[in-house]
Amino acid sequence: MDGLDTKFSALADPTRRAILARLSLGEATVNELARPFEMSQPAISQHLKVLEDAGLILRRVEGTKRPRRLAKEGIEAMDQWLGMLRTALEKNYDRLDGVLANIDTQKKGEMR
Amino acid sequence: MDGLDTKFSALADPTRRAILARLSLGEATVNELARPFEMSQPAISQHLKVLEDAGLILRRVEGTKRPRRLAKEGIEAMDQWLGMLRTALEKNYDRLDGVLANIDTQKKGEMR
DNA sequence: AACTTATATAATAAATTACTTATCGTCAAG
DNA sequence: CTTGACGATAAGTAATTTATTATATAAGTT
């Protein structure tokens, strides 16, 4: 429905990361989210659309307000992809690449 | 030296994610990395520059070759930021937001 | 020295992004 | 029914991105 391209691209903006950080504390409306920024309300609405299209946040209807919250599944998808790299890095720790890397960078390290 | 903007933006491209996935198996040179893609070598070199500027890969010099490998610390930086969201989602699991969210989604669909 | 292999850089064009201001729709209070 | 608060959408614009081809550099081979 919404790919990793869109998700990571959504995270590539500091305003949007700040919005997500704020939402990690709980729901918030557009105006609440816009207040901390020196940016117009439409700009924030557009950022929220990007986050929603990426599947990273969800919207609820409450009167004239539209509170947003984090979308668990969307965030987990990115998390899983990164997990692949993370475990690769753990496994490769003592492989040839790592050895070469350390020698090459001339940085001593805690080799085991 | 390199911010989260640059890192996440680097991941927002499927070619670059594929390159990282390949590097998770071990070092590779530019030509090795370019081969699987229907894309010119300069294009791959530019993608590699993006990844390097983002602090996600490192380069080594070996004759005329420039083997790349994953840069552990850069990847961990993104991982940590996402970790913040992840733990927030775990903690919020049974909070009011989540309850409202579920009730609401069952009732009505809404448009933008 | 001349040639090949491996990679980087430059110039350029097309597509996308991230704002702005102006405007529109909707709910809810008086 | 009018008004004000909340939020979405539209149109315009400047900056950035991603590819291409052509060219440059540097090391390895004969």
Asked whether the predicted pLDDT for residue B76 surpasses 60, the reply is: yes
Q: Greater confidence, A5 or A90?
A: A5
Q: Is the CB of residue A63 less than 8 Å away from at least one CB of chain B?
A: no
Q: Which of residues 80-99 of B touch strand D (CB under 7 A)?
A: none
Contact assessment for residue A30 and residue A44, using Cβ atoms and an 8 Å cutoff: yes
Give chain A's mean pLDDT.
85
pLDDT tens sequence across A50-77 = 999 999 999 999 999 999 999 999 999 9
A39 nearest nt, CA–C1': C19
Give chain B's mean pLDDT.
86
CA of B64 to C1' of C1 (A): 20
Q: What is the per-residue pLDDT for A96?
A: 54
Q: Greater confidence, B91 or B92?
A: B91
Question: Mean pLDDT across the stretch A5-14?
Answer: 98
Domains, chain A: 4-105 (1.10.10.10)
Phi and psi torsions of B65, nearest 5° = -90, 155
Q: Is the CB of residue A110 less than 8 Å away from at least one CB of chain B?
A: no
This prediction has a pTM of 0.85
Closest CA to A63 of A35, A26, A29: A29
Q: What is the per-residue pLDDT for A54?
A: 97
Asked whether the predicted pLDDT for residue A109 surpasses 80, the reply is: no
Interface touch B8/A5, C-beta < 8 Å: no
Dist. CA A76–CA A82, nearest whole Å: 10
Interface touch A85/B70, C-beta < 8 Å: yes
CA of A64 to C1' of C28 (A): 8
B47 nearest nt, CA–C1': D18
Contact assessment for residue B72 and residue A29, using Cβ atoms and an 8 Å cutoff: no
pLDDT tens sequence across A75-87 = 999 999 999 999 9
Q: What is the per-residue pLDDT for B104?
A: 46
Nearest to A60 among B58, B79, B101 (CB): B101
Q: Chain A residues with CB inside 8 Å of B13's CB?
A: 5
Token output for A111:
């080799």
Dist. CA A74–CA B15, nearest whole Å: 21
Q: What is the per-residue pLDDT for A93?
A: 58
pLDDT tens sequence across B15-51 = 999 999 999 999 999 999 999 999 999 999 999 999 9
Q: Greater confidence, B100 or B19?
A: B19
